[in-house]
Amino acid sequence: MTTNASSSTGAAAPLRIAIAGASGRMGRMLIEAVLQADDCQLAGALDQPGSPALGQDASAFLGRPSGVPIVSDLREGLAQAQVLIDFTRPEGTLAHLQVCRELGVKLVVGTTGFSDEQKGQISEAAQDVAVVMAPNMSVGVNVVMRLLDMAARALNQGYDIEIIEAHHRHKVDAPSGTALKMGEVVAAALGRDLKECAVYGREGVTGERDPSTIGFATVRGGDIIGDHTVLFAGTGERIEVSHKSSSRAGYAQGSLRAARFLADKPSGLFGMDAVLGWA
């Protein structure tokens, strides 16, 4: 693997980034973002075995070649990369993680739906390789998380809290990782444990609402990129803190920011709070 040396002009060499799920919606958005970034270089493109995209140029959908073919062999796809950005499925991400650990490739994880055991595997691997993992890579969403902490502390009495999220029909986990993280932020600000106070569905005669609970409502349909609203419902007023995505571009730009953050990190598990300088 080549080293990230400075050129004779003194400019740093571009950060070499590989993309997992290269033929998917998010994968293509990430590839486009990397190609548009002056300080980044597309160094690999991965997709699952059997994908019809295998062998194609990773940026063929843009009408211009990158010289990087889409491959399914992890070691081939990661051979020249310093960082892998992964928005796939938990099982795929964990397989990628093990090879990244062997090769010393850093990892930005935007995948959601991990079990506690799977999160433990990522934490263990981060002892050897640097990882940024967050339920949402959007800078705007992470700013909303900070606002929710402040709002929950101020609205800690007399307000019922409900979290409503909507995504496209293809999303496989519910509630979304972002919605769950919002719940965790609010619960922590109120001194509660989300596992004990979350309510994920209501049907039939449920009785009056328990004021100590945090409710979740999930919508799936169409091509909704991602909408999240936290509702604080009090007597005579409602406060809503919302984030709505009209494009996956925000996730891609946040992911590149996370990749740049990892450039000088030998190991460790980080969140977007660290990437944004809040931790």
CATH of the domain at 165: 3.30.360.10
The one catalytic residue among 96, 106, 119, 167: 167
Q: Which pLDDT belongs to residue 3?
A: 42
**What percentage of the chain reaches a pLDDT higher than 70?**
96
Tell me the per-residue pLDDT of 216-256, one tens digit each, with 9 for 90 and over: 999 999 999 999 999 999 999 999 999 999 999 999 999 99
Is residue 228 within 8 A of residue 164, CB to CB? The reply is yes
Q: Which pLDDT belongs to residue 233?
A: 98
Q: Which pLDDT belongs to residue 145?
A: 96
Number of domains within the chain: 2
Using the predicted structure, report yes or no on whether residue 6 has a pLDDT greater than 50: no
At residue 10 the predicted structure's pLDDT band, cuts being 50, 70 and 90, is low
The one catalytic residue among 106, 119, 170, 171: 171
State which residues form the domain around 233. 139-245
Q: Residue 136: CA atoms inside 13 Å, Cβ hemisphere, count? A: 25
* Residue 177 maps to a domain: yes
Long-range contacts of 274-279 (CB under 8 A, 24+ apart): 274/132, 275/132, 275/134, 276/139, 276/142, 278/146
CATH of the domain at 123: 3.40.50.720
Calpha distance 64→79 (Å, rounded): 23
* Residue 128 maps to a domain: yes
The number of angstroms, rounded, from the C-alpha of 261 to the middle of its chain's C-alpha atoms is 15
Tell me the per-residue pLDDT of 128-159, one tens digit each, with 9 for 90 and over: 999 999 999 999 999 999 999 999 999 999 99
**Whether residue 20 is found in the same domain as residue 94:** yes
DSSP string, 54-70: TTSBTTGGGTS--S-BE
Tell me the per-residue pLDDT of 39-96, one tens digit each, with 9 for 90 and over: 999 999 999 999 999 999 999 999 999 999 999 999 999 999 999 999 999 999 999 9
Is-catalytic flag, 243?
no
Q: Which pLDDT belongs to residue 273?
A: 94
Q: Which pLDDT belongs to residue 279?
A: 82
Is-catalytic flag, 167?
yes
* Residue 189 maps to a domain: yes
* Residue 40 maps to a domain: yes
**Whether residue 186 is found in the same domain as residue 197:** yes
Average pLDDT of the chain, as a whole number: 95
Q: Which pLDDT belongs to residue 7?
A: 43
Mean pLDDT of 260-276: 97
At residue 168 the predicted structure's pLDDT band, cuts being 50, 70 and 90, is very high
**Whether residue 21 is found in the same domain as residue 126:** yes
